[in-house]
Amino acid sequence: MVIAKNVGKVYVDGNMALDDVTFLIQNGEFVFLVGASGAGKTTLIKMFLREEIPSSGEFIVNDKNISTLLPREIPYFRRSIGVVFQDFRLLPDKTVYENIEFAMIVVGAPRKLRRKRIPEVLNQVGLANRAKAYPDKLSGGEKQRVAIARAIVNRPPILLADEPTGNLDPDNAWEIMNLLDDINKRGTTVIVATHAKDIVDTMQRRVIALEDGKLVRDEEKGVYGYENE
């Protein structure tokens, strides 16, 4: 569960990135986060990862108030959120299998569990036959599938995807969105920050829209809604 209660964020230069933002995301929801550049999406995403904290209000993720986390607690908190980025961020000197395994090694998962889980997620993302390939031999869509597998291999309750289709052609973009939809149907809360108007409008899932740091729309079955974005 994610609770944003009257969240404000003012940077040292006086820029107000978020202004009195309030919303609740229940476990198991699929949510699009939309808004023009400068609307506040990036700041909000950083709060999910505890890279920023509110100047005012409360931001609670998985029952943790990010403002009161101790430094030693932050790495463990971040393990509860799988993250997928636009630019994939794969390790170029590691195979597909090793890229996914790295996420499990970081959290101390035993070898027996790694050998069980990695084939499972490779099969789930449709890359069972690419385990030994290196990133430079993969297509953009395949790279994003590896990134998703790495993000979900430790079974985090929340998957946060920041512009996951931004570097993909339309066909691959839809394959990735269908995969995220499948992950959501298996019980994971999925939050997607995107500018992909066609995807948002077609999927008709919940939309949280920001404009100039304010929450201007929160619709259960929403559309992108801003022609100038």
pLDDT of residue 125: 96
Mean pLDDT of the residues in the chain: 94
pLDDT of residue 226: 57
With a cut of 70, list the residues of the chain below it in pLDDT.
Answer: 226-229
pLDDT of residue 228: 43
- DSSP secondary structure string, 192-225? EE---HHHHHHH--EEEEEETTEEEEEETT----
Amino acid letter for position 187: G
Domains of the chain plus CATH, in order, are 1-80+156-222 (3.40.50.300), 90-154 (no CATH)
pLDDT of residue 140: 94
pLDDT tens-digit readout, 148-187: 999 999 999 999 999 999 999 999 999 999 999 999 999 9
Quick one: tokens of 219? 């619709």
Beta bridge partners of 82: 159
